Amino acid sequence: MSRRDRQRLDDILAAINAIPAHLVRGDLSDGLVFDAVRVRLIEIGEAVKALPADLLAHEPDVPWMQIAGMRDRLAHRYFDTSHAILAATVDRDLPELERAVRSLIGQSEG
């Protein structure tokens, strides 16, 4: 794994770890919290887009293309972003993404 790829994986983890800190300040009905979480999800998608397909293939159960697509939707169609979709992403999808990213980092170290 290249240094750049490792940095992108670290970027994903940093964004995942920042989201609970935003949610401590309020829930997604608070506009500032909603925006902060949305921006972190955009960062995750941007980092995923920068990772090579052969690296992502090591975690085939993660919907990498959907993550990248969500980034595009959040960045370009922010005005119709559903609170429910963001909440489901945070609650259901981020734990699995974090596990996969940690696995990819572990594979490179081991």
Among the options 3, 76, 77, 92, which is catalytic? 76
Active site residue 92: no
Among the options 71, 73, 92, 99, which is catalytic? 71
Separation of alpha carbons 82 and 105, rounded Å = 32
Active site residue 3: no
Query: Cβ distance 81 to 31 under 8 Å?
Result: no
For residue 25 the two structure tokens come to 């300040």
Which value, in Å, is the radius of gyration of the alpha carbons in the chain?
Answer: 14
Query: Cβ distance 94 to 14 under 8 Å?
Result: no
Hey, which residues are catalytic here? 71, 76
